[in-house]
Amino acid sequence: MGQPQAPEGAGTGATGVTGAAGAGTATAAPAAAGPSASRPPLRVGMVGYAFMGAAHSQGWRTAGRVFDLPLDPVLAVICGRDGDAVRTAAGRHGWAAAETDWRVLVARDDIDLVDICTPGDSHAEIALAALAAGKHVLCEKPLANTVAEAEAMTRAADAAALRGQLAMVGFNYRRVPATALARRMVAEGRLGRLRHVRVTYLQDWLVDPAAPLTWRLRKELAGSGALGDLGAHIVDLAQYLTGEHLAGVSALTETFVRQRPLPGGAAPGRPAAPGDGSTGEVTVDDAAVFTGRFPSGALASFEATRYATGRKNALRIEVNGEHGSLAFDLERLNELSYHDATEPGTHAGFRRILVTEPDHPYLDAWWPPGHGLGYEHTFVHQARDLVHAIAAGQAPEPSFADGLQVQRVLAAVEESAEKNAVYTAITP
Ligand SMILES: NC(=O)c1ccc[n+]([C@@H]2O[C@H](COP(=O)([O-])OP(=O)(O)OC[C@H]3O[C@@H](n4cnc5c(N)ncnc54)[C@H](O)[C@@H]3O)[C@@H](O)[C@H]2O)c1
């Protein structure tokens, strides 16, 4: 396998830490841990074992087998609330042990890093406890459900950084080789001054009004709907590609279906009653559409929806600059479209860069050119970048401060939408 490149996710803020933060002795490495006994372990404790739990497990399991890492990720403890289910998940995903209370997990002295893969209502509580217990933290996006929570988490992360603990938020779409290449090309100035950023993130899993009222549709659990789920990703990606923070937004949101069937047993205080016809109120947005302005003068448009019939996970971003354009489509994630506007018009035009060359971000360790990566590799790259950052004692990106800034954009979108699209500045 090839040598890792300079970590894409490692920032410049040196913290002086070397190695992992936990004080305990290492557990015996499970069969699924990295391949080398000669590197210090990074013992991971992960909370949540469903969608993101599976994706992160794959990332931790694979990173040390593909990339030459300075620390060996060890899938030490997985945590969920249902004992049988979490033990099954431990076996399936390769974790050595299981806990049923995240507080117990966080208190264990044989864990160096807590990986938070739960709904947003628990991010702040778990992250604050983990940082207080001396752990590094990886937290899924959006960082929190409110700006106040994200501010508290960022304050705690800043204080923890002084003690050598690092914290990162999981905006994994930065880790697609094609988006990382796009970032590199924008930073190199190939597009010149940016004029437009056009981003959409379209899904269709809520089109059916009979789809149940899961946690994603309840504000007290999810914070917001398509906005925090999909919008958070595209705000982060747009800001990452441009290297700028949005200055303000003008937004509309809508909840198309306001009552949905309650899933059995999922409502607090309500006994399981699948199929009894009860409904509950959807308290989040189904779709958010907003425009934004970057300090450089570039204009941006965003659309996030769960109602785009036929679109499954269509994240598309296009950036237009005075010297050229870039376009990316997650459903064709090994490709980046590039138009070089400095070429003569006679043969200029968008061309397809197949982002599978060893010189492309992350690709030196993968397959020969043309063999392609997928969605799950973003989580492998996320684990890789975080391990490098921890070993080097460098603040990882996206940091909790980056997550807080996205949270402020989400809050400005909600405020603008409440005022029928009044332009709303974003607190720097
Ligand atoms: N990066 C991405 O592409 C991406 C994709 C989907 C979801 N997410 C984010 O990941 C997080 C989790 O989403 P998901 O899709 O995996 O949800 P999910 O419903 O599939 O899984 C949530 C898990 O958290 C567990 N859980 C909930 N509350 C808990 C608690 N108090 N203690 C312990 N376990 C608890 C559940 O049992 C379940 O295992 C959310 O923040 C979501 O926004 C990110």
pLDDT at 274: 52
The rounded percent of the chain whose pLDDT value lies above 70 is 89
| Per-residue b or e along 215-244, where b marks 16 or more CB atoms closer than 10 Å to that residue's CB | ebbbbebbbbbbbbbbbbbbbbbbbbbbeb
To the question of pTM greater than 0.75 for the whole model, the response is: yes
pLDDT, tens digit, 9 for 90 and up, residues 384-394: 999 999 999 99
What rounded mean pLDDT belongs to the chain? 91
CA dihedral 93, 96, 97, 103 (to 10 degrees): -80
pLDDT at 14: 31
Paired strand residues for 291: 250, 301
Q: Which pLDDT band, with edges at 50, 70 and 90, does 37 fall under?
A: low
CA dihedral 71, 76, 78, 83 (to 10 degrees): 180
Ligand 1 and 229: CB distance under 6 A: yes
Q: Which of 96, 116, 97, 113 is nearest to 169 (CA)?
A: 116
- How much is the average pLDDT of 151-162? 98
- How much is the average pLDDT of 36-42? 85
Using the mean position of ligand 1's atoms as its centre, give its distance from the Cα of residue 139 in Å: 10
pLDDT, tens digit, 9 for 90 and up, residues 238-295: 999 999 999 999 999 999 999 999 987 544 444 445 556 899 999 999 999 999 999 9
Name the 3-class secondary structure at 22. coil
- The token pair at 289 is 């559409």
Does 64 have pLDDT greater than 80? Answer: yes
Mutate which of 81, 105, 118 for ligand 1? The one with the most ligand atoms within 8 Å of its CB, which is: 118
**Higher-confidence residue: 95 or 13?**
95
How many helices (H) does the chain have, and how many strands (E)? 11, 19
> Which domains does the chain possess?
10-173 (3.40.50.720), 177-332+334-373+404-425 (3.30.360.10)
Query: Closest ligand 1 atom to the C-alpha of 122?
Result: 31
Using the mean position of ligand 1's atoms as its centre, give its distance from the Cα of residue 215 in Å: 10
Are the CB atoms for 156 and 127 separated by under 8 Å? yes
CA distances, 34 to each of 67, 173, 233 (Å): 10, 24, 29
